[in-house]
Structure formats: C-alpha cells, structure tokens
Structure 1
Amino acid sequence: MAGRIKLLLVCLFVLSPVKAELSDSKQALIQELFPSATVIEDALPDFPVYPVYQLQELLGYAYESMDHSRLQGFAGKPISMLIGLDTRGRFTGVRVLNHHEPVFLHGLGEEPLFDFVEQYEGRSLREQIIVNTSNSDRSGRTSQGNVVHFDGVSKATVSVLIINDTVLSSALKVARKKLNGFAQSAPTRAKPDFYEPLSWQQLIDRGYIIRSQVTAEAIEARLGRPLRDYPIAIEPAEGELFAELFLGYINAPMVGRNLLGDEGYRKLMQTIGEQAQVLAVMSRGAYPHVSETFVPGSTPNRIGLTQNNLSVEMRDLNLLESTTEFRAAGAPSFDARHLFRVGGNAGFNPGASAEFKLNVELALNHLVVDRADLSMPVRFDDSLFEAVEIAPDPSDSRQPVWIGLWKERWWQISLLVLGLTVLTVFFARQRSLSRHPELVHRFRWGFLFFTLFFIGFYAQGQLSVVNIYTLFLAIWDGFSLNVFLLDPVIFILWIYTFLTLFVWGRGLFCGWLCPFGALQEMAAWLGEKLKFPQVKIPEQWHRRLILLKYPILLGLVGTAFYSLTLAEQLAEVEPFKTSITLLFVRHWPFVAYAVGLLVIGMFIHKFYCRYLCPLGAGLAVLGRLRLFSWLDRVDLCGTPCQHCKNACGINAIRKDGRIDYDECIQCLECVVILNDKEQCVDKRLENKKQLKASRILATDAG
C-alpha cells in the first residue's frame, strides 16, 4: 500500500503536464502580433515558443525574450518582451511586457520605448539592423541595401541598444531551431599552420582570394538606363570595369600572412583577439565598395554579407593604414581597401558558402535615385579550413554591446579623462596652489561649468543612488561587469569617485563632479547677487538634519530588494533625472520639485546636498575609509578663531575647528583662508610678531 502511495505521488509531482497554459492576456497580445491567427498553441515542451496557425497553416512563432536571452538592462534586470517571428524570419511585431529602465519609467515616459520597438515590424533577420545613436531626432527608419537603420531614443541609448541585442539574439535562436533555411552549417575555422609564400595571382587562382567583376553593361541592364545619363562621372573608361572586388579571409594564415607579412599579421591578431573574424575587401573601378563619405570604423552601406539567410554584420576595423602595402608579389593598387570585422549576432562560418552583395545607388536628380543590388557567391577554398567539433555559440564571439558604445563615445571619454587628470593634479597640489586665491576661485568655477554643461547636460554623467542599488542587486543576482560598462562616462566617474574616496573622501565628487551640485552652487551664487537673505540653520538643528539622508538611503536600498519598481519611484527624491537628464522637460510636479530645491538653495546654501541627498550619504559612509586628512588646521582654529567656520557655506566645520569630512565638499575655501596672511588670524598674529621683532632690531641698531 505504501509503495502505491509513493507511486501516486511521483505521478502527481514528477509526471505532471509540462506544457504551460497560455493566459488570456498573453493570447490577446499574440493575436495582435498575428492578426490572421485562428489557433495559438501553448508553449512547446522542448523549446519555449508558442506556435501560431491560420487553420492548418503555420504562420510563425511567438516567444518571450527572457526564455532565450537574459541580457541585463541598464537597471540590472532583463527587459521582457513578447516577439513574433513568421516562417520566413520576419518580425510580426514586438511588445514590451516588463522592464525597469528608469529613463522610460520615470523620465521620458514609455511612449518613446513603444515607438522604438514598433520599428521591428516587417523587418527581417536577413537584414542587418543598426540602431542610430548619434542623433536625437526620430525621423523614421531608413533602409540602404541590406542595412536597416533604426532611430534610437535620445537620453536612452544604452536601453535601446540592449533591446536591439535582445531581440536579434533571441530571434536567431528561434529561427535556427524552428525555421527552414536558417540552420547553421558544420562549423569551421582557419588552419593555423597552413601557409606557404604565394603571389597575388596564385592566391586568386587557388581560391584563397575571391575576385568578382561587375561590368558596366550588367549595371545598365539592372538600372534600365545607360550610366552616362547620371550627372556624376560614373561611366567607366574604355576597357575599365564598373567594379572589381576582391575578398580574403584574413584569419587564415595563408591569406593574412601573404597580404600583411608575418609581423603585420601577428600584430593584427593580437589587436583583434582570438574570437574576432576579419574579412579584407578591396576594390577598384568606377564604383568602389565604399563611398567618399564613408566614416572609418563604421558599417558600410554599399556592401553586405549574408550566410544561411542571415545578414552578417560588417564593421570597419580602421586598422589598415593608407601607407600599408600588401606583401604578396604582384598585388595591384586599389581605389579602396578595408579590414572588416564580421559576425555579429548571426556569427560567420568562414568555410561555408555565403553571398556578398553590392548595393548600387545612383542619383538621376535630387528627387529620383535608381538602385540595383548585385549578389556574388562567396566560397573560399576548403583547404584553408578545418572542421570544429563543437559549434561555437555566436554570442560568445560577437563583440559585446559596451565595446561599440566606448568606441562611439571615444572623444567624450578622452575629454572626461583629461578633465579628471587636471582635477587630480590640482587637488594633489592644493596646498601650494591655495596660496593664490584668485587662481583657486577661477579654477573652481571653470570646473563647475565643465561639470554641469559637459559631464551633466551633454555626456549625461550624473551619478545616482540608482547606481548603488543596481550594484547591490547585481551582486545579489550574479555580478556581471558588462552591465556597468554600458555607459562609459558613468563607469569612469564611478571608478574615479570610488578611488578618490580613500584619498579625499566624498567631497571631491560632491563638490566638483556632481552636475546637480554644480547647479546648486550657481543657484546659491545667484541668490547672493540678488541679495536674497542667506539663512543659517542653527547648529543644533543642522546636526540633526544632516542625518536625514542616511535613512533615505537605507530605505531606498532596502526597497530595491523588495520591489525594484517601487525603489525607482522612490528614487525621485533625487532631482537629477528631471534637471540634468531631461533638462526640466517633464511633468510639472517633478519640475516643481527640482526647481523648488534650487530656489531653497538660493536662501539655504546647497540645502539638498546637506540634508536630503541619499547618494551623498552613501559616499559619506565609504568616505570614512579615507587614508588622509588633507585640510590643515592650526591651534587657533575654533579656539577662538571662527573665520573658516563662518565662511563655510555648507557648515562642515565644527565650533572647535575640526573638519566634518562626512559633510565637507572640498571647496578648499578654508585652505585658501588658512594660507591668506590677511584673512587667517594665526597668520596675522605671526606677521605682527615678525613686525614687532623687526622694529626692536631696528631700534637696537639705531
């Protein structure tokens, strides 16, 4: 009897149905993705997708992105989406189910997010989708050949790039598993020891470099008109081809070493790493493979590469200098030549067949543009490659999202690092430089303008308490540095702030690198110029009020573990998003709150920083680990001299003269006073003693 009961329990708990039932709300969303659907099945037991039918005909599959890709968003949590994919690999639509991206939830609103994902409808996995992040205008998606450009969302670059990567990587997994024509061929790699010196012609004859020729007659047949009809000089000269293209797989030593030489090949492989794959494209003729306006390091518009019905990403490495000569004997001169990193989400199998596409666009006038797309087969000689036993996951070899972001923002990173270097040198030499009050004041105000307008308004480098509990949640859920590398400016500022906490405490960030802090400084200066009464909080109340920010910090961090959504809402105690990120373009309650804090700051110096800022509280706690006390004090400080205390706008000096480093913003005003012979009482008494001594000596001499 006992054995039968155990068997019954096993049947109930172990052999229970594995197919998840489809909820009514999810079924309604899938119906939106497939309007003609008549049957929507539950998720398959072996692969989490929902088959969708019109009567007996399979229309495609719907699936949740988190079942196939768990790339973390900017808030440290994945963005959950419902995605529709038809049987030909085209997106029928994307619906956002859940997300924690702060800029959409409590900033821009969710409408820009929904507008962004709408761009996927009707696009194909065979196209290379690129998110434009260089401009903030939403002028609509554009297509050029096999490359499709999506408009990004201003102020939310990181979030939309993560969404794009999630949509494409998850769709590829579904397509390769369930759709015909998308299966990967047997994986190959270049033979590492296969090499012999060959001439240029030998490389072509053996199929190690592929040559494709496009005649003027072939293009005219595609365009439907002679090339001489176009206003640009595009017609080839007598005996010249319209385009002659050459392709070589540089990773193969037979190709790479013959073209670049042993040393050049070795340096390139060290630079790009083991996982990167490089395709050399060279061309000559009337129509080279890149236009005159091609930007080095970007994706070409005139050419494309497809394999297994998928678009293969091509991005210029910008590593082939114009002075570099190919070493292969007999190599001709070219009108254009580039090294492209290939792969992306789709990956690239060098030993399998692929298609190279040349996209020809010729303007007849400012209104009419004729287009012709030519496809050329690509199949390198099999002797270059060897089989790989285990197929690599393309997600392991493709370039992480953050690398592209760092490359794109290189000049912002350079300017930020330069500014931080100057600030570090200034602080390291503060004792000597503080002897020049005018220099210190001018430098401080100049740097505050740099912080507000470049770091804050332009580069969006406002640190937030959200970053703190994102870090805690990342540690709790499984730490990944990639999440924090997505925003290079924020990452660099956090690293710099963390390191300087051990040297100067919290004041270096709060007094010099916080954009909203800089805005408060300017509001306080304006209040003084307008002769607003400056309110001094009584000492006993000040000491109590400065403790308010610590329970605010604890409450936010604790709430994040309970509900990230609630924590993000409560984080609006910080006015940073309203003032710095969104430039006060927001619903009026948020604007009224941020402006109200600035107005209060015109009467009470840096009111928000002193009493409410949870970020300042977190930095103050860590700042107690500082190794040095840079701000000098003398015996007369506090007993009886109160000059520094009275001049300290943030009231970080106690009556006994001690510096409260938990509150100090390192404005260096007290250091300037201490080194000023006219302001410091100690210096004035010392001067009087020296003057009296000199008079006595003069009297004795007389």
Structure 2
Amino acid sequence: MARPLARLLVLFLAFAGFAHAELTPERRIQIQALFPQATSIENKLPDFPVYPVYQVTELIGYAYESVDFSNLQGFAGKPIRMLIGLDTRGRFTGVRILDHHEPVFLHGLGEEPLFDFVNQYPGHSLRQQIIIDTTNSRHSGKTSDGDVVHFDGVSKATVSVLIINDTMLSSALKVARAKLEGFTQAAPTRARSDFYESLSWPELVDRGYIGHWRLSTAAVEDSLGRTLGDYPDAPEAEPGKPFTELYFAYINSPMVGRNLLGDKGYRQLMEKTGDDSQVLAVMSRGAYPHLGPDFVPASTPDRLGMVQNNLSVEMRDLNMFDTGIRLQARGMPAFDRQSLFRVGGNAGYNPGAPAEMKLTVELARNHLLVDKTTLEVPVAFAGELFETVDVSPGPGSRQQPIWVSLWQQRWWQISLLVAGLTILTVFFARQRTLSRYPKAVHRFRWGFLFFTLFFIGFYAQGQLSVVNIYTLLLALWDGFSLDVFLLDPIIFILWGYTFVTLFIWGRGLFCGWLCPFGALQEMASWLGQKLGVRQIRVPERWHRKLILLKYPILLGLVGTAFYSLTLAEQLAEVEPFKTSITLLFVRYWPFVAYAIALVAASLFIHKFYCRYLCPLGAGLAALGRFRLFSWLDRVELCGNPCQHCKNECGINAIRKDGRVDYDECIQCLECVVILQDSQQCVDKRLKAKRKKQPEILATDAIDIIEVT
C-alpha cells in the first residue's frame, strides 16, 4: 500500500512542478515582445528559472523574472518585478515591468518616466559599464565612452532607478554565468595577508607586483589611422618619451599596499574603505594621462575602463590622496596623474585572474569631427600575491551594497543635514536659557523653518511620510532588512533622529521644526495674519473632538497596507506631501487642488492639516507618549487663572487648566518665551511687584491678569 501511495505522490509533485513551469499564453506574448524574431519559446527550466528562446533550432537567448535572481527591495519595501530578455551574447533584448509599488511612479510622476528609463537597456551589453546619471548635468541622453554607457536617470526617483539598474545587472550576471559561453568565472582568489617584504619601486615592478604599460605615439597614430598632426589640439609627447605610460597595482595586497603607501597609509586606507572593498592604484605620465582635465573627483574615470571575463568592472575614484594618504615607495618616479579606484561593482573583480583596462583616446579634428580609439592594456599581477579560495573570493569580493554609493554621492547633503540637526539639538537642550532672548528665538525658529522647507524638503527630498511607517511594519512582518531603509540617507537620518527625540521632547520637535509641509503651513499662517485674514479659532469642545480624526486615519492606512499595499499607497494621498514637497505642485490637477486647499486652510486656521488630519503626526504622537521628560515648565498661576499662554498658542495645545497637551504640541517654544519674559508672564510680574510692595492685595493680581 505504501509503494502505490509513494508513486502517486511523486507523480503529483512532478505534475505540480510542470504546471508551475509551464508557459502561460500571457507570458508567451510578453516574451515574444522581448524577442520579436523568436519562433519557439520553451517552458521554464526545472533546474534554473529561465525560459529558453529559439529562432527555429538556434538558441537566441533567455527570458527570466528578476525576482527569481534578485530580492533587492524597492523604495516601498517590495521588489520591483521585471521580465528581462538576454541574448546569447549577453545583450539585453528588452525589459517589461510586471509589478511594482514605487510611490513616486504610481501616484506621482506617473509610470511613463519608469518605462522610458527601462527602455534604455535594449541593445546594451553586460560587457558595458552602465552608469545612471542622477544629476543630468554631465550627460544628456544616452552616450557611450568605450565600455562606459551613461543612462538618463529620473528626477525625483533616483533611488528607484538605481534599484532597477542594480536588479537588472545582478540578475543578468547570474543568468550569463550559468548559461552563456564566455561568462564563466575563473577560480576566485584573494590577496595573501602574510606575504610582505620591504621593496623599492623598481623591485615591485620587476617582480610583477606592479603592472607597467607604454603607448608610443606611432601606436596611437596607427590605431587612429591618422597622424597626430591632423589634430590641432593633440598633446605632443617629448622626443623619446611615450605618448602614455601607465602603472597599476592591487593595493589590497600587503606586499603592494604597504610598500606604496607605508604602513600607516595602508592601514588608514583599509580602515576607510572597509574589508569588502578592492582598491586599484593607477599612475600615469606622458602627453596623455589616464584622467582628462575635466575629470570630476569621486566619479568614474573619463578615459579609462576595465573588463574582466568579458564583463565591465566598475571603477570609481576614491579621492583619497587629499586625506593624507600618498604614494611613497622608494625610487618611485614622478607622475602627472595618480588615482586610487574602488573596483568591482555587480561583476566583481578577481585580482588573481587576467583582466584588461581600456584606454580611450579621443582627439578632435575640428569643432565638428572627433576621432576616438580604444587601446587594450593587459592587467595581470604575479601569482604569488594571491591565494585561491574555495567558495567565493574573500575580503573585497562581495558586491558593495547599493546604499553605500548613494550615501557617497550625497555626502554634502548628509553633512549639511547633520550639522543642522546638531544645531537644533543644542538649541533645544538649552531652550530655558536661550528663551530669555525672545527676538533671537523667533529669528532662529524662522531661519530653521526656511532651512527645513527649502533644503530638507524641496532640495534634499526629506519629507517623512506615513508610507514609511507601514513600510517598516511590512518589513518586520516579511523579514526585516535594514538595506531598504538605508537607500535614502536623508530620510534614514531624519527618521533615526526623530525616533530618538520622540523619547526626549515628544512629537513636537519633528512636527514643529523638521516637517517641510508643516513649515509651509506655518508660513501660510504668518502670511494670512500679515494680510489681515480673519483667524478662525475653533471652539474648544470641537477642537478636542477634531484632533482625534487623525488616529482612525492612521489605523485605516496601516491596516489596509497588510491587506493591499497598492490600495494603502493610494489612500496615503490623504497626505499632500508628495504633491507639494516632492513634485512641487506639478501633478494632475485634483491632487494639486487638494494640496493647495490644505495650505490655504492654514491662512485661516493655524496648521489646519497638522492638527486634525495628519496620520504621520498621529503615529508620532502615540510614540511621543513614552517621552522621558516634560520640558515645558508651568507655574501655579498657569490656567488658574492666567490664560495668556493658551491664548498665544497657535495650535491650541494648552488646556484651560494650564497643562500642555504634548500629543498636540509642536514645540514652537512660544509658551517658554512667555514664561521667561518679565513683561508677559503674570507670575513674574506679580513677583516683581511684591519686591516693590511688601504687601499686595489679591485684587491687584486680578487687575494684572485682566490687563494681560
């Protein structure tokens, strides 16, 4: 009885596997669009999740789903599912977006920029280094320099397109290495950590520890098919000197790195770059160095590329020579340009295997015609520098996480934000002292609100959102990964700072000082007062009911996210942040009208949206109840009978009995200033009067309060 059951089980599992791998009509149509010349498309292979594609009997490529090879999460915390076509030469034949949850495309810019971006891939190869232009400043459109290809990014969606690019390349590499000829990897190697002796520059070169290559003027002219005299601006080499002379070295090897940089410099570089980075030094001299005059530090080299195993190896300048690190080997010649490059990227780099650099020589015949040639530079180092590893290369082999490059690109924005947060922290920590100077406090507050709106909001795109909350909850539900939250350094830093300060000052530090839309409302309220717009003061009993509206909105959004992330993203449009801050009101008119209406409401009711509708504020208020301190001092006369602070509180966060409602308080510090002001605070005025008159009647206090 057991054997027949076992056979039935095996048949069932086999059928289930076949059904899963069977090509559906819809998928066949999608793959046919990626390979228009295909005459046959097979089912997904049982041992490797790709669809083989044939033209008659010839294999022309493979189609596959990105999620089968890459689990990199998008900005919304879910992978971007793509169907990708790759031909047998390692070229992309097409890309189709199957599913995504990127908010900026779904409910902001629209999906057309997303489709335009992925349509840049067809025709390009894994052998090329694809660089996404996130600034739109150096390149316009799609350009190619040797093996380097620049793609236009998407403004306001930098993180999303970089994730797509990383997913495309990493998944295609896995397919190519498993299924395509010419992409298989050599045995992985790493630098020997115990191999070192003190050597001079000539000894390092003679032993093959430093590579050397010379390019003569005649070789350049032969490659170009013209003499250099045909190029008016061509650099001229000195008689008997090479047109270009290159030296290159693998710095991770202690034999090379310690001799070139010294023990201190080598240790400093390794600490700064980390164990997972691989560093290649390139030095050049002659008429045509490896970097052009317009090269931008910390970017990819403009004249130099690198290829290993038919794959382009990413090279990025570390810009480290300005930090005290320098080349100092004994007997080293002088160089015109010298660089330290981080190498690897998606393709990785195997230092013990042969590779080649490609030097692009570009010369203009006139203002219209430019000739270009690419010369191959063999890269191979002495074998004794390395050791073979069993499974994967050791330190330096693992691909650098995508968020690392994002943080490097935005270093100055990060620095400015951290400086601003540091100043704000010092200000809040010393608020009782500084509040004695009302004018200085008001000027600082308005200056910081402008910093928040224009730098944090409009420029750095640092608007926190309730979407971030349920992205975090979904990540905890599905399996937490910090990488997805590190993709936007500004958002990550702001969330980290906000979370910590919630337990010190409560919700108000963010809502009153760091929220760009909150700053925009504050400015609208100020403008309304200056224009003489009648300010509406919501009656206390209605105000206490209306402030509760934001809590069911928050619960509804979070609950919906677990049911349907797409629906939750649509409902999150209750927040006007994307329309006003991210897209600068350039959007479909109903969204713009809604955002403008909320800003206009602040002309009449101070920070209307923050007080009654903001689900993000509700979430922060809930966490802010766990704060450790109550910084806003109260005195005996506050609320009994004095109502001065309550009357001056624009957001109505002070109750009639004088207590501060920290769930609603935005920490504008106006009540702190009043309490420290001897001209405004009734308690201080009474104390001052007592000093002048030893005996004071109770009616005097009432007179003072009435005057106030």
Note the 1:275-674 alignment, pairs <5 A. Answer: 275-321=276-322, 326-392=327-393, 397-674=398-675
- Does the aligned pair in 1 maintain the 2:265–2:325 contact within 8 Å? no
- Does the aligned pair in 2 maintain the 1:33–1:92 contact within 8 Å? yes
Does 1:9 find its partner at 2:8?
Answer: yes
Separation in 2 of the partners of 1:480 and 1:52? 35
Separation in 2 of the partners of 1:235 and 1:431? 69
Which residue identity does 2:321 align to in structure 1? L
Inter-CA distance 409–323: structure 2 relative to 1 (3 Å threshold) = closer
Farther-moved stretch of structure 1 (342-351 vs 261-270): 261-270
Separation in 1 of the partners of 2:394 and 2:591? 46
- Does the aligned pair in 1 maintain the 2:276–2:396 contact within 8 Å? no
Separation in 2 of the partners of 1:137 and 1:219? 27
SS at match of 1:195: coil
SS at match of 1:47: coil
SS at match of 2:426: helix
Note the 1:152-301 alignment, pairs <5 A. Answer: 152-301=153-302
1:37 alignment partner in structure 2: 38
Which residue identity does 2:502 align to in structure 1? L
Structure 1 residue 199 displacement after superposition: 2.6
Inter-CA distance 107–137: structure 2 relative to 1 (3 Å threshold) = farther
Which residue identity does 1:7 align to in structure 2? A
Separation in 1 of the partners of 2:139 and 2:272? 36
Separation in 1 of the partners of 2:474 and 2:685? 55
- Does the aligned pair in 2 maintain the 1:128–1:146 contact within 8 Å? yes
Separation in 2 of the partners of 1:576 and 1:485? 21
Farther-moved stretch of structure 1 (135-144 vs 395-404): 135-144
- Does the aligned pair in 1 maintain the 2:265–2:326 contact within 8 Å? no
SS at match of 2:662: coil
SS at match of 1:427: helix
Separation in 1 of the partners of 2:579 and 2:620? 22
SS at match of 2:551: helix
Which residue identity does 1:9 align to in structure 2? L
Which residue identity does 2:564 align to in structure 1? S
SS at match of 2:361: strand
Which residue identity does 1:11 align to in structure 2? V
Inter-CA distance 323–544: structure 2 relative to 1 (3 Å threshold) = closer
1:700 alignment partner in structure 2: none
Inter-CA distance 549–93: structure 2 relative to 1 (3 Å threshold) = same
SS at match of 2:686: helix
**What count of residue pairs does the alignment treat as equivalent?**
695
Separation in 2 of the partners of 1:677 and 1:262? 63
Separation in 2 of the partners of 1:387 and 1:490? 41
Which residue identity does 2:540 align to in structure 1? E
Which residue identity does 2:400 align to in structure 1? Q
Inter-CA distance 325–669: structure 2 relative to 1 (3 Å threshold) = closer
Separation in 2 of the partners of 1:646 and 1:239? 87
SS at match of 1:283: strand
Kindly provide the CA deviation profile for residues 170-199 of structure 1, in whole angstroms up to 9, marking residues without a partner as x: 000000000000000111112222222323
Does 1:46 find its partner at 2:57?
Answer: no
Separation in 2 of the partners of 1:600 and 1:571? 20
Separation in 2 of the partners of 1:441 and 1:538? 27
User: What residue ranges of structure 2 are gaps of 5+ in the alignment?
Assistant: 698-708
Separation in 2 of the partners of 1:675 and 1:7? 84
Separation in 1 of the partners of 2:149 and 2:541? 63
**TM-score between the two structures when normalised by the length of structure 1:** 0.96
Separation in 2 of the partners of 1:672 and 1:270? 47
- Does the aligned pair in 2 maintain the 1:74–1:158 contact within 8 Å? yes
**TM-score between the two structures when normalised by the length of structure 2:** 0.95
What is the root-mean-square deviation of aligned Cα atoms in Å? 1.8
Farther-moved stretch of structure 1 (198-207 vs 210-219): 198-207
- Does the aligned pair in 2 maintain the 1:347–1:397 contact within 8 Å? yes
Separation in 2 of the partners of 1:572 and 1:285? 59
Separation in 2 of the partners of 1:417 and 1:501? 17
SS at match of 1:89: coil
User: What residue ranges of structure 1 are gaps of 5+ in the alignment?
Assistant: 697-702
Which residue identity does 1:250 align to in structure 2? I
Separation in 1 of the partners of 2:517 and 2:564? 27
Kindly provide the CA deviation profile for residues 334-376 of structure 1, in whole angstroms up to 9, marking residues without a partner as x: 1111111111111111111111111111122222111010012
- Does the aligned pair in 2 maintain the 1:290–1:336 contact within 8 Å? yes
Inter-CA distance 364–12: structure 2 relative to 1 (3 Å threshold) = same
Inter-CA distance 393–608: structure 2 relative to 1 (3 Å threshold) = farther
Note the 1:32-181 alignment, pairs <5 A. Answer: 32-135=33-136, 139-181=140-182
Inter-CA distance 685–653: structure 2 relative to 1 (3 Å threshold) = same
Separation in 2 of the partners of 1:496 and 1:397? 30
- Does the aligned pair in 1 maintain the 2:62–2:86 contact within 8 Å? yes
Which residue identity does 1:14 align to in structure 2? L
Separation in 2 of the partners of 1:607 and 1:248? 62
Farther-moved stretch of structure 1 (425-434 vs 43-52): 425-434
Inter-CA distance 273–224: structure 2 relative to 1 (3 Å threshold) = same
Inter-CA distance 576–323: structure 2 relative to 1 (3 Å threshold) = closer
Inter-CA distance 212–620: structure 2 relative to 1 (3 Å threshold) = same
- Does the aligned pair in 1 maintain the 2:189–2:389 contact within 8 Å? yes
Structure 1 residue 5 displacement after superposition: 5.0
Percent of pairs with identical residues: 72
Separation in 2 of the partners of 1:213 and 1:310? 24
Structure 1 residue 531 displacement after superposition: 1.6
Farther-moved stretch of structure 1 (565-574 vs 314-323): 314-323
Farther-moved stretch of structure 1 (605-614 vs 288-297): 288-297
Separation in 1 of the partners of 2:194 and 2:314? 27
Which residue identity does 1:347 align to in structure 2? G
SS at match of 1:115: helix
Kindly provide the CA deviation profile for residues 260-309 of structure 1, in whole angstroms up to 9, marking residues without a partner as x: 22332222223222222111111110000011221221110211111110
Structure 1 residue 323 displacement after superposition: 7.6
